[in-house]
Structure 1
Amino acid sequence: MTKFDQAYAALRRAIVTGELREDEPLDDLRLSETFGFGRTPMREALKRLADEQFIMWPAHRTPYVRGMKISDLSRLYEARVILESPVARQAAERRTPAQLGILGRVLDELDSAVDDGNVYTAVELDLDFHQQVAIATDNRFLADCVKRLNCGSLRLWYIAHAFLGMAGVNDAHRGILSAIAAGNADLAEKETIEHIQDSYQRQIDRQRVDLDKVATQQDPTVATS
């Protein structure tokens, strides 16, 4: 890996895992000192992260970690349904044996990450699965749209998995792959919509856990150990 690749990977992981917080300014000099890379590869890494929606970089201003308001969640998942359900249909109609093999290997690796409790690796593989489904449409424009949308969701997936656990998170992917492999476009679309709706529900459940924790901390009648 080049210095740029290493800087990019380090920053991406720090953003997804919350080491770099939402809306936190990203000064390239401070980041260089923190992560041990030169300013040039660090700035190039920031440019790529901005292109992938991990960070925001307004003109003539310092970039910062892209945040997500609770009120944005429903619109985000609405966009996923609108984009990814027809993508699944196209994948079922156009996939090749080689692409099916790639999808299967990604899910096998995801199972291993879940078994090991490796949340970060699991969400990156989750992202890769959805990206490979989009690639199977043989439409690079669709693949690019799916990548951009889901890169912006990766931090949310990490938080949900960390809070709620990862048991069964790969089951829906297996259902989607099975439908695509069978060439069943209707079922692939149905499985994809249900998966996205379940993912949205996990975000709501995660928010509820946060609120319950706050209420517990503020209620003096709750016993502490």
Structure 2
Amino acid sequence: MSGHLEQIRLDSYKPLRELVCEHIREAIINGVFAPGERLMEIQMADEMGVSRTPVREAIRKLEMEGFVVMIPRRGTYVSNMSIKDINDVYEIRISLDTLAAGLAAERISDEELEELQRLLVKVGNAIEENDMAKVVEADIEFHDVLYKASRNERLRNIINNLREQITVIRGVSMRYPGRLKDTQEEHRRLVESIAARDVEKSQEAARIHLENAERTLMAAMSERKGGEELHNSLAAKQ
């Protein structure tokens, strides 16, 4: 296991198992642990300065969220989603996000609209600073406000569940050259359409945003796979 976890700070009000779960989840999202990599409970517990029990509980939760896969008698591995898995998730998300955007255009409050506009600025500043952690954080906040504005709690929960299933590889597309700038422009068009209370344009903007995100992720994964195959081929010849 090549990853390295920092010690858990025990001054939080949250239960230890939640802190451990968040810590490991963040490490997976940020690429500390690579897709397909085996997670060793004892080593992670030692690095975080905790016992194995909260680590074991965290892994079970992360399995339910789709971040890890537990294989009997072999161990726990970071999820390595297939192209088919990703296509399935995006196929559903495009439909649901389109619906959420249309509902938001009809139901959003003035305060929520102001919050979306504020988050546009926050994402833009994070992009200029090249701070990927802040970009991801602001992007999640942006979509959370949008889903909340739909006023459909079941829809919001379903979308968030699907979003969690691809969070582990989302950073791959966000780091793709030019994608962050494109995302910012797509968000801007979406907010403008919602502000105009234009349901059709809001739905179209949401659909285009998700289709572009999927297309970029496919391209990034294809290039990464090609690079890995070339590396393996050269290694085999040595």
Range of TM-score over shorter length: 0.7 to 0.9
The equivalent of 2:8 in structure 1 is none
Q: Write the deviation string for residues 20-45 of structure 1: whole angstroms up to 9, x where unpaired.
A: 22243444433211233444543454
Q: Which residue of structure 2 aligns with residue 49 of structure 1?
A: 62
Q: Provide the TM-score with structure 2 as the length reference.
A: 0.78
Alpha-carbon shift at residue 132 of structure 1 (Å):
1.9
CA 1:128–1:38 in 2, change beyond 3 Å: closer, same or farther?
farther
Unmatched 5+ stretches in structure 2: 1-11
Change in Cα spacing, 1:35 to 1:218, as seen in structure 2 (3 Å) is: closer
Q: Which amino acid aligns with 2:170?
A: W
Query: What are the equivalent positions in structure 2 for 1:128-143 lying under 5 Å apart?
Result: 128-143=141-156
- CA distance in 2 between counterparts of 1:53 and 1:47 reads 10
**TM-score normalised by the chain length of structure 1:** 0.82
Query: Does the 8 A contact of 2:86 with 2:166 survive in 1?
Result: no
Contact persistence 1:123–1:157 (CA under 8 A): no
SS in 2 for 1:169: helix
- Offset at residue 151 of structure 1 (A): 1.6
Q: CA RMSD in A?
A: 2.9
CA contact (8 A) 1:28 1:42 kept: yes
Structure 1, unpaired ranges of 5+? 221-225
Match of 1:32 in 2: 45
Question: Which whole-Å CA distance do the structure 2 matches of 1:24 and 1:217 have between them?
Answer: 18
What fraction of aligned residue pairs are identical, expressed as a percent?
Answer: 24
Letter in 1 for 2:208: E
Determine if contact 1:124/1:154 at 8 Å carries over to the other structure: no
SS in 1 for 2:182: coil
Aligned counterparts of 1:33 and 1:219: Cα–Cα separation in 2: 36
Structure-to-structure mapping, 1:56-75, within 5 angstroms: 56=69, 63-75=76-88
Aligned residue pairs total 220
Counterpart residue type for residue 202 of structure 2: A
SS of residue matched to 2:175: helix
CA distance change for structure 1 residues 37 and 136 in 2, over 3 Å: closer, same or farther?
Answer: farther
Instruction: Mark the CA change 1:168 to 1:28 in structure 2 (over 3 Å): closer, same or farther.
Output: same
